Each structure stands twice: as C-alpha cells, then as structure tokens.
Chain A
Amino acid sequence: MSGLVHWAEDVDEDWASVLAELTRAFEASRSVAQVEESIVYVVRQDDLLGRRGAGNAMVACGLLSAARTAAMEGARKGWTANVVAFDEEERSVAEGWARRLLDDSSVNGELIRVGSGHIGKTLA
C-alpha cells in the first residue's frame, strides 16, 4: 500500500518554527487522505515525554493526537493513521515499522514504540 510516512523534523524553540512543521504535516496528510491512502508519523520517543524542549514536544504530541483523529476518519474509508516513536539508535527499525504499518490496515490509531526508552514512563 502506498501512503505517507512523515518524519517529524526538529524545530527551534519558537512558535513560527512549530507552526511551520505542524502545517507541513497537515498539508501532507490531507493530500493522502483525499486519495484514501494511509498515514504514518514518525517521532522521537523523547519528544513524547517533553525531554528535548517544548517545540519538539508540541510537534510530536500534536502529531500523535492528529493521528488518532485521522484514524477515526480513515476507518470509514479503509485507510489508517498510526505513529511510530523511536529511540535514536533504533531509527532504521522505525523505518521498517513505518513501512509495515502502511501495508497492514489491521492496525489503526496506534502508537508503536521502538526501543526501550519508554518503559516505566507515562503512557502517551
């Protein structure tokens, strides 16, 4: 299955930078949703916990919530939206999971955590 794999880019600690990155994700997501293809956002585990500053945390957590909403909308049409969160040393593994999620419509609205950094931490 084709679709969107969107890697969250690092942003600066300023609002314009955050808005630009979230807008980039929105526009790419809308384009694939309009042709009923699936979406995977890839974010850093640390950013879901706010460990690398507010800017990156806003982007990562914003994408997770957007994926959950998109998943609801896609479920009616047969496309999916998911998120992969990775520890830095597991980047290549995250790529594999992202491709797999595009191919498997049985998983929808999920957060796949690659690596062990999340264990014992808050659930996203």
Chain B
Amino acid sequence: MKGTIVVTGAARGIGRAIAEKMASTGPLTVIGVDIAPELALSESIIPVQVDLTSIEGPGLIRKAVEASGSPLLGLVNNAGITRDARLINLTEEDFAAVLEINLGAAYRLTTELAPLMSDGGSIVNIASRAYLGNFGQFNYSMSKGAVVGMTRAMALSLAPHVRVNAVAPGLISSEMSMAIPEDIREKMVDSIPLDRMGTPDEIANTVWWLLTPLSSYITGEVIVVGGGRSLS
C-alpha cells in the first residue's frame, strides 16, 4: 500500500495506536488529526489540529490530504468523547456534545473525503461495544449505534469502489476507561471472558487489517473487539 491515511483523534489512546501502526507498516503518509505539532510521532505522521465540529474543519483536513500529494487510501473516524449520565439526568448540553463529536464529525468528514478516496479505499469507523447498550451512556450508546448505521449506509452508497466497516472496541486500557471509577472498572473486567482489558494496539491491529486488501471482501460489517464481553 502506498498513499495517505487520515486518522482522527490521533493524539492518544486508540487513535494514536492506529496512527503509529499505519505509519510503521509501509510507505504511507498518515494525517493524524488532533496531534499538536510538537507531539509528532514520526516523520510519516503529519499532525493536523482542527476543530472537527467546526464548519471549516473537514475542509482543512481535505486540504491536508491534497497537500500530501498521494492518493487517499483510508480514513479512520476515531475521535470520541463521553459525557455519562443516566437518561433521567442527562442534560441537553452533554447529549449534544457527544453526538457532535462522535457522530457529526465523523459524518461530515466522511462526506468531505469520500470523493477523494482511491478505488479500493477503505473507511473504518470506530464504534463501541456500547452500541449494544451500556448503563448510564444513553448519549454515547446512541452515537455509536448511529455510527453503525452510517457505516452500513455508506458501505452501500460507496460500493464497489470504497469499503466501509466499523470496529466496536470493548473495555480498552486508555484515558477514557481510566476515568471509570476503579471498583466499577474491576467489575467490568470480571465480566470479560478473556479476563482483562484490551489494549489500543489490539484495536489498531483490527483497524489495520480492515484498511488493507487482506479484508478486500468485507464491507458494511461491525467487528466487536471486546474479549467476549458481549456474551457474558
């Protein structure tokens, strides 16, 4: 593979692992959205800082892709936030904030970049195992379910030229999961058949596979990477 890959939310956690994985596996230019210039991870990663929810955000990323001088092979919509509360206590502000970042930014960026995608390109949307439901996450769960819907619709509309899939991580060791109170996190780990949290690299490996021709006959699917927690 030779070309450009865009990864949003690339400054830390899963997004950083994806950007590093892609940058290390071939002659690729990786545009890492959200990375401050001083935190550039390798010469192959071009840091871009934009507000993904702004009107001009997607266009700025498009310009960075065009400036890279190589064909756009992949897009990873990873940027996401949580603002947890039970439905009865959820505020309009927290509802909108989560929907805007987790869903609106992904939708608008994909709409902006899809016309640039090379034939055989691949889009991977980072959903969450919470799309199956998760207590206290009405907004987050809704946003990730909607990402799954977007994935299916775009898999149909962009076929046969571009594949679109989603990865749904379970409990992954990251800043987001570390924000969960320790006692609750331990109970969650107890419910995971593989008996541990996942790592960002394990998500990156799955995303890498979906971006490469190794998965060339897969589109419109959701791959849950959650240590079996959906069964227990």
Determine how close the nearest CB of chain A comes to the CB of B84; give it in whole angstroms.
Answer: 11
Total A residues in contact with B, Cβ cutoff 8 Å = 39
In the complex, chain A residues whose CB is within 8 Å of the CB of B155:
50
Whether B152 pairs with A30 at a CB distance below 8 angstroms is no
A66 to B138, CA, bound (A): 5
Chain B contact surface mostly = helix
The range of chain B's interface size is 35 or more
CB proximity to B under 8 Å, residues A43-72: 47-54, 56-72
Whether B145 pairs with A73 at a CB distance below 8 angstroms is no
Query: Which residue of A23, A53, A67 contacts B153 across the interface (Cβ within 8 Å)?
Result: A53
Asked if B88 lies at the interface with its beta carbon under 8 angstroms from chain A, I say: yes
Asked if A18 lies at the interface with its beta carbon under 8 angstroms from chain B, I say: yes
- Binary CB contact string for chain A from 66 to 86 against chain B (1 if under 8 A, 0 otherwise): 111111110000000000000
- Closest Cβ neighbor of A76 among chain B residues: B135
Whether A68 pairs with B132 at a CB distance below 8 angstroms is yes
Asked if A61 meets B149 with Cβ closer than 8 Å, knowing A26-B139, A50-B155, the reply is: yes
A54 to B152, CA, bound (A): 8
A19 to B146, CA, bound (A): 11
- Closest Cβ neighbor of B151 among chain A residues: A50
Asked if A62 meets B133 with Cβ closer than 8 Å, knowing A19-B99, A54-B154, the reply is: no
Determine how close the nearest CB of chain B comes to the CB of A48; give it in whole angstroms.
Answer: 7
Q: Which 8 A-B pairs have the closest CB atoms?
A: A65-B145, A68-B133, A61-B149, A50-B152, A50-B153, A62-B146, A57-B149, A57-B153
- Which B residues contact A (CB, under 8 angstroms)? 86-88, 90, 92, 95-96, 99-100, 103-104, 107-108, 130-139, 141-157, 220-221
